Structure 1
Amino acid sequence: MTSLRFRADGSFRVLQMADVQDGPDVQPDTIRLIREAVREADPDLVVFTGDQIRGYDPAYIDTFLRRRGEEPGARVRAVTEVEARLRGIKRRNSPTASPAEAQAALDELMDQTRDKVRRTFAGFLGPIIEAGVPFAATYGNHDFQCGILADEQDDIYREFPGCLNPAGSLEPGTFALPIEASDGSGRVAMSVMMVNSGDYAADADTAGERENDAQYPAYVVNSRGLDLADSDGYGTPTPEALEWLGSVQDELGARNGDGKPVPAIAFQHIPPQEFYDCLKEVPAWTPNAVEGARTHEGHCYGLNHEVCRPGSRLGEAIGCADENVGEIAAMNAAGGYFALFCGHDHKNAFVGHVHGLDLGYAPTCGFECYGPKSRYRGIRLFEFHESDPAGYVTRMLTWGDLVGRYSSNEVRVWFEDHCVTGAVSMRNELRRPQVFAVLAGAMSLGFLAMVRSLISGKR
């Protein structure tokens, strides 16, 4: 594996790319954003923090999995079926086929899906490979839904030059990337930790019963309390991964010969519940407030600027698991950890300091999924110094800064930014001052027109 090392000037740069979330043909704007960010940052490492694959894309309709362990294509989401019809994609099925014929057909479909995954990887990795920058990837809650699980995706990533995902790690997406000192001594001066944060919570008593599109009326009323794609809540790191957070520090300390934990930053997809501690509860109609999700539903939140860095952005609720498995406590107990950064919530880009750690986000860098305005989609840059890795500097490299105000398809981005799926998201939209002003203005004009009509009718 390629060794990572601080530069001669003591610096080391990392780019975090979150939620590419695309199908086989990656959006040109996404590729352009990645290319411009790599050119601007001149990074030493790129980390992908999950949901690189848009697993629910119609391209994967025949092998789609709502949950691991299901029959491929057995329970396709209604929204995927609708999108497939709009794009003219038809499902392949042979109800009269023999078991052997059905298996052969499935094997062929899985091979086709593997090729589609390779096309996706080749699309967003292209600018990184061209620049000769090493990269690493962990996984989110949508990657596996294409039908190819994380262990096999790991193998596919390793087909590309520069991939640092190790074979034989604790689990796919959980591994350490030690960064050696600039003096060539081999001492580990810092480590980047990649953590697989899981995908969905498992409830053996209800799995397959509550996750169905008949829930839609209840979903419209309370989309954050009951998510059709996530009726049992999001997943968490495994107990083995939590234990690893400590044992890997022991290993690095032993490697250095002093037994001390090394300064470390962790990257994963789904944020733990402590991210809510970067926020403060606010009155329901506070401008730009967002309603909490699931265990935090019924409460509205805004950024707590006393703990958040300047430039932080909150655009949606924190999509954490219902259960707190003690990941932050495990990091603090292990020592050395100074930050945890996530993706998952496409509109969030804040960094707060709570529980002795920096907790932060990168928003989506993709243009095929929901997210903020084009100019706010971006990639997070970290600049570390060997003398004090915890004193790092971070900033967003956004489309607006690197390319321009608008993307090549602003109509699509506008709908992705203003996507309303239920009463909660409608209320969040109304809390946006510009949206409220436009609707209030339209209603005022409508009221004036009605008054004029009544006056004219009396004449």
Structure 2
Amino acid sequence: MPLPDAFQTKHPLRFRKDGGYRILMMSDAHHKPAQGARTVRAMETLIDATKPDLVLLNGDNVAGFTCKEMFEQQLAELVSPMEKRRIPWAHVFGNHDQTPEVSKKEQEAVYESYPWCVSKAGPEELPGSGNYFLPILNEKDEPVFGVWGIDSQQDFKTQTVPLDYPGDLYWDVLMPSPIVSYSDYDFIRFEQVMWYWNTSVELERLCGRKIPSLMMFHIPLIEFHAMLRNAGRTQLRGEYNERVSASDINSGIFAAAFQRGDVKAMFAGHDHINTFDGVYAGIHMGFDGSIGYDAYGTRENDPGHDRERLRGGRLFDIRLSDPWDIRTDMVFVSDFE
């Protein structure tokens, strides 16, 4: 049975004839005129080397613009690798994407104007912009896998989604001895968690089964700390070079996904020089690192150190024969130069 219009994409996303599907995630481009050309070349290097079926941009995509015209020019440069190669791509927003000059709603319309962009603004009533589900289909046009995009908002200073809270968020939330780490980053709102839950239930009703999926959002969850504290049990791998900058407020999205049982991978950007991943409570979680040369890199104050060492993206390989088994690895630009 065909899916309702809400689940349709501009370009149908299908498994290849060989039964595989490859996703390349790239985060924190922070695309500016200064190093923008270098970032675009790096993206092209990864795309040409890995040949993805879908590209995901996981937030903090364009930076440094002061008007809509500048944003449009910089975005055109950033997405040119996918557009020229006619590869479907999608995005979510990060904490730096919202600006006083160009709102996320305005930006979203520009993103969606590109022929190969399959992102969606999502329901108007939800906080933020870019809350959506992308079905990956088999040859019968049946959903076999999916990608959730979630807007993880900004921070307590630049909230664009007002909270009905009368107090001082800094004073009342950011404690001197926090549960995990002191962080003023915003959180995925309860309305978004409800939307994920209800949409997941509706997909199961329509398809007669749960659809295994990957969820991307920019700001990591507080549960990411569980992997660091239990490296052996969670099969931790990759690099941990900076504190996990999760919100001090637990959004509940992990608990919802854990209870529903369909999201089997959750990956964030945000922390440019963290590339670790592991498995906690049956969900594969971790970081993507940073692709952008206008973004900070590793140990910048260490003379002689290669600050660009971790520039790269994250691959996800899914097989039609077992879409619950999501295989993922970091790939670095230096691997292909």
Give the alignment's TM-score, normalised by structure 2.
Answer: 0.84
Partner of 1:245: helix, strand, or coil? helix
User: What is aligned with 1:129?
Assistant: 83
**What percentage of aligned pairs have identical amino acids?**
28
* Partner AA of 1:392 in structure 2: I
* Partner AA of 1:160 in structure 2: Y
Partner of 1:365: helix, strand, or coil? coil
1:325 offset after TM fit, Å?
Answer: 2.1
1:2 offset after TM fit, Å?
Answer: 1.1
Describe how 1:107-186 pairs up with structure 2 within 5 A.
Answer: 113-145=67-99, 147-169=101-123, 171=126, 172-181=129-138, 184-186=139-141
Tell which deviates more after alignment, 365-374 or 24-33. 24-33
Give CA deviations for 1:381-402 in whole Å, capped at 9, x if unaligned: 1111012123222222212102
Give CA deviations for 1:387-431 in whole Å, capped at 9, x if unaligned: 21232222222121022xxxxxxxxxxxxxxxxxxxxxxxxxxxx
Please give the root-mean-square deviation of Cα atoms over the aligned residues, in Å: 2.3
* Partner AA of 1:377 in structure 2: R
Describe how 1:58-457 pairs up with structure 2 within 5 A.
Answer: 59-60=65-66, 113-145=67-99, 147-169=101-123, 171=126, 172-181=129-138, 184-201=139-156, 205-206=167-168, 233-256=184-207, 258=208, 260-280=209-229, 304-310=231-237, 312-372=238-298, 373-403=307-337
CA contact (8 A) 1:18 1:344 kept: yes
Partner of 2:145: helix, strand, or coil? strand
Partner of 1:129: helix, strand, or coil? helix
Partner of 1:193: helix, strand, or coil? strand
* Partner AA of 2:258 in structure 1: N
Which of 38, 41, 50 in structure 2 is aligned with 1:32?
41
Structure 2 CA distance, aligned partners of 1:328 and 1:207? 23
Distance 1:31 1:264, change over 3 A: same
Which entry has the higher C-alpha Rg, 1 or 2?
1
CA contact (8 A) 1:25 1:119 kept: no
1:145 offset after TM fit, Å?
Answer: 2.5
1:50 aligns with 2:59: yes
Higher relative contact order (CA 8 A, sep 6+): 2
Q: List alignment gaps of at least 5 residues for structure 1.
A: 61-112, 210-223, 281-302, 404-459
CA contact (8 A) 1:277 1:354 kept: yes
User: What is aligned with 1:443?
Assistant: none
Structure 2 CA distance, aligned partners of 1:277 and 1:397? 24
Structure 1 CA distance, aligned partners of 2:122 and 2:43? 29
Distance 1:34 1:204, change over 3 A: farther
- Structure 1 or 2: more helix by fraction: 1
Distance 1:363 1:187, change over 3 A: same
Q: List alignment gaps of at least 5 residues for structure 2.
A: 1-9, 160-164, 172-179, 299-306
Give CA deviations for 1:110-139 in whole Å, capped at 9, x if unaligned: xxx111111121111111111110111111
Give the alignment's TM-score, normalised by structure 1.
Answer: 0.62
User: What is aligned with 1:4?
Assistant: 13
CA contact (8 A) 2:181 2:248 kept: no
Give CA deviations for 1:75-126 in whole Å, capped at 9, x if unaligned: xxxxxxxxxxxxxxxxxxxxxxxxxxxxxxxxxxxxxx11111112111111
